[in-house]
A and B are shown apart, each in its own frame.
Chain A
Amino acid sequence: MKSKEDISGELSDISPFLAGIQKPIPYHVPEDYFAELPRLILANIQQKEKRENEISSELAAIAPLLNTISKKQVQAVPNGYFNQVIFMPPVFQEQKKPASVVKLPSIRRWLPMAAAAVITGILITGAFLFTDNGDNYIEYEKYTRMDMPAGLTGISEADIEKYLNEPEHTVFTQSATVPVSEEAWFDVNNTIQLLSDEVLSQYITENTDPAETGSAAKK
């Protein structure tokens, strides 16, 4: 090789700055790397030769003629083929697993039908309530607040009597007593008078609530 002085002098001419700096290489090497390297390389070579020998021996046993023919490729590839083609590692797409079929419980099957029935019911009830004109509804509250005497002053006695004599105009309330005609009362009185005391006593005994009897006794 050319002497160190000549190479340093050349560098000084080109770049005095570069010639003035140290040359240490900052890279690190594993410890004992160079001590182990010759043994590693020889081991690799022996392993490779052993593998080649195995293949050659196998072929010698099967078809010895093939061992005498060169393995050189006879086909050619276009110039620069291997420099142009970019070999990308295959991308393995994760295969999508088909969704598992889950059997729905019976309640899940009936639920839509029940919901449909409820909705139908709501619609029918709503329609009924909406179309109902409330003919039979009596506003009792309204009547209790009415000033009845003032309202009746403008009506003649004859009209009132006529109105009351018409049975369809009778208004029944929960507290109203059932009117009993005089004939009916006469019949009841006559019937009771015909009954003996024993029969009446038996009737009273059979139709009297024991609780009432008790409370009466306490009084």
Chain B
Amino acid sequence: MYADDKELLRQFNQTDTKERAFTAIIQKYQEKLYWHVRRLVVVHDDANDVLQNVFIKVWNGLNKFREDSHLYTWLYRIATNESLSFLEKLKRNGTISLDEEGSEGLSNQLRADSHFDEKKLEWRLQLAIQHLPERQRLVFNLRYYDEMPYQDMSRMLETSEGSLKASYHHAARKIEEFIKNY
């Protein structure tokens, strides 16, 4: 059982318990954050690099964190920004061929996975998600997999709840259509 976020933050701000508290924070959120990042960047090695950068930023910035928002939304915001910045870098340096939304390049990376099997529904679902525009992909992942409330998502992405609901609605319809026509 993990300690409550407020208690972890208190321990982090004390020198003698800082590392222990930070380790506990990593252990508590690493899997959720990893899968959030992995669904965006697709490849494990890239997700690992991004996640390590996320926690280094958390280490450097956690003492300035204001407790008027949830710790997990703050962590998700950092992870999202790091993932999107990473994808931007891929677009700029041409490491992978990415179109405007990055859909084609990410789909190709998905197909390159050694376990990829397009006959399986879960892989087709991933392909469908990668074909979404970036914003819809992000909203769909946060709602469908992370089951994040629109209120938290709105704070995290600085977007209205109505806009997020519309994005989720469009994304779900597109995914259904993609899978049925695949």
Which of under 10, 10 to 19, 20 to 34, or 35 or more describes the interface residues of B? 35 or more
Interface residues of A in 28-52 (CB under 8 A from B): 28-30, 33-34, 37-38, 40-42, 44-45, 48
Residues of chain A touching chain B, judged by Cβ–Cβ distance below 8 Å, are 1-2, 4, 7, 10-11, 14-15, 17-18, 21-30, 33-34, 37-38, 40-42, 44-45, 48, 82-83, 85-89
At the interface, yes or no: B22 with Cβ under 8 Å from chain A?
Answer: yes
CB <8 Å contact, A41 and B144: no
Q: Would A87 and B93 count as touching, CB distance under 8 A?
A: yes
**B8-16, B131-139, B171-179: which lies at the interface:** B171-179
Secondary structure call for the B interface = helix
Question: Which A residues are in CB contact (< 8 Å) with B148?
Answer: 1-2
Nearest residue (CB) in A for B117 is: A26
User: A26 and B122: CB pair below 8 A?
Assistant: yes
**A38 lies within 8 A of B23 (CB):** yes
Residue of B nearest to A40 (CB): B52
Task: Report Cα–Cα, A10/B173, bound state, in Å.
Answer: 13
Residues of chain B within 8 A (CB-CB) of A24 are: 122
- Give every chain A residue within 8 A of B38 (Cβ-Cβ): 25, 27
Which of B44, B115, B125 is the one whose CB lies under 8 Å from A21?
B125
Q: Which of B55, B88, B113 contacts A83 (CB 8 A)?
A: B88
Q: State A10–B93 Cα separation when bound (angstroms).
A: 40
> In the complex, what residues of A have CB within 8 A of residue B120's CB?
26
Q: By the criterion CB–CB under 8 Å, are A37 and B145 in contact?
A: no
Q: Shortest beta-carbon distance, A21 to chain B, in Å?
A: 6
- Residues of chain B within 8 A (CB-CB) of A25 are 35, 38-39, 122, 126, 145
